[in-house]
Amino acid sequence: MTARRIPVQFGPSSDTSQATQGGGTVIENAYVDITVGGRSKYALTADPGLRAWAQVAPGKAGRGAYAFGNIVYAVFGEALYKVDVTGNSTQIGVVVGTAPVGFSQNNKQPNPQITICADSAVYVLENDVLTSIPRTVLPAGVHSTVHMNGYTLFGVSDGRVFSSDILSSTSINALNFDTAQRSPDPGTKLFIVGEDLWYFGASSLEVFRYIGGLGFPFQRLQGVTLGEGGGCIAKNSVVIVDNAPFWITDKKMVARASGYTPMRVSTSAVEADIDAAISAGISETIVGFSYALGGHQFYGLRCPLWCWVYDTMTQTWHSKKSYLDRTWLGVGYVYAFGKHLVLGNADGAIYEMASSFQTEGGQPLIVKLLSRNVNTSPKRLICDALYLDLQAGQGKADSIATEGVSPKVMLRVSRDGGETFGTVQRHSIGRQGNYGHQVVFRRLGAANGHGFVFEVSLSSPVVRAVFSATADVRECAA
């Protein structure tokens, strides 16, 4: 039997079949970087790492943060903290509940007002004084708040949307409201898109346009309503990325708006995880976030069960997982002080995120890649060698940890189409400066008719990127 060299594909998007042997690829803690004119079409590059920046509320879960000038306001547990540019924090109030919080801000002078929408209460922060808006002013069931042109708006689960007086988030006329009328479904989220106010229901979307004047300062746009497929069932998933709204629709898929039309961008794997979270009754824990990195604009979704990230440049998905966890430790994001800041989901910390960090708060940031299935069914395959083309020679001469000096790549091989995997094999990816180092795993055995699947992992705290892979294989009788 003569061996032939074939490509082994990792990526470009993470989308596995629900059946174990159904194929697909996994990309975990890495994103696709297009390499025009390079030795491969794309590189799978490690996600940015995290470094502890501020310890705010030890043992408390992050619920949200808002950047205001040279200050970040962050909610951990049931406490509101003021965090300055050096990371020093001061508790300034109590915000009841456990669910993620939402923020809006007007431009009242000399002290703008920041409105905070929590589980069962709405607060206004002015000059670091936090006050609660009483139920005599706003009804129960406020789910979100936004601001436009001096007005603070409050969405209520019964479908109403209230407007404050101009430049006064605490002054709310009980008659200054309108009601979403497209469907009898409960309201779930207010969102500002350009000059429009989008009101999501659980299974509908209505759009209002700012008109100003006395009374309620918005008017419903005639003909711009959506029923089934336009709603939002995870209110904290709504985020503007690359100049367009992204959200989880009532069809349990991720949509990007094209005008007023939702366009599906999620994969089957993403949608299966969304369905699992909805079925578990934790839709309010799904938090959307966005960040920009090296020309890429990312839209992320995170809940206690999983974390997915969509790259709007390459239109690819990958998952994020922290060490020994099934999801990412980040639960809130804000850009402040020239830094990407991430709230910890359980430790009361704020982390700085950057590509120059190769760990997450000192814990390994493990890049894991699962290849597409390699098979010639029904014939069996023998794999004589697997060649990995990756970033070599990145060892750190000054690293305290051995894995930093002599970084390694780990390989596990499935010989039954991805059902089971063998023991871990390790290979050096080159000490510092050894840029010509080659990675070859030999004598990888025989696969049944379901074929080979290769799992590649990189955990060493160095620059990591995988460009391509090939394998020498031989066919044999079924």
Residues 438-462 pLDDT 10s: 999 999 999 988 899 999 999 999 9
pLDDT tier at 422, thresholds 50, 70, 90: very high
Average pLDDT, integer, range 287-304:
96
**430 against 362, higher pLDDT:** 362
pLDDT at 399 over 60: no
Which pair of tokens denotes residue 344? 């910890």
Mean of all residue pLDDT scores within the chain: 92
Q: Which amino acid is at 3?
A: A
* Among the listed residues 163, 150, 162, 158, the one whose alpha carbon sits nearest the alpha carbon of residue 181: 158
Say yes or no: do domains 4-47+367-476 and 49-361 share a fold: no
Strand partners, 235: none
pLDDT of residue 433: 81
Average pLDDT, integer, range 403-429:
91
Which pair of tokens denotes residue 107? 């431009």
Spatial separation of the C-alpha atoms in residues 155 and 477, rounded to whole Å: 66
Fold of 49-361: Methylamine Dehydrogenase; Chain H (2.130.10)
pLDDT of residue 17: 62
pLDDT of residue 37: 77
4-47+367-476 falls under which CATH superfamily? Galactose-binding domain-like (2.60.120.260)
* Among the listed residues 420, 319, 260, 452, the one whose alpha carbon sits nearest the alpha carbon of residue 44: 319
Q: Output b/e per residue, 195-206; b: 16+ Cβ within 10 A.
A: ebbbbbbbbbbb
Q: What is the dihedral of CA 321, 48, 337, 329, to 10 degrees?
A: 10
pLDDT of residue 19: 59
Spatial separation of the C-alpha atoms in residues 440 and 426, rounded to whole Å: 10
pLDDT tier at 253, thresholds 50, 70, 90: very high
310-354 confidence digits (pLDDT tens): 999 999 999 999 999 999 999 999 999 999 999 999 999 999 999
pLDDT at 1 over 80: no
Q: What is the pTM of this model?
A: 0.94
Q: Where are the domains of the chain?
A: 4-47+367-476, 49-361
Average pLDDT, integer, range 157-164:
95
pLDDT at 182 over 70: yes
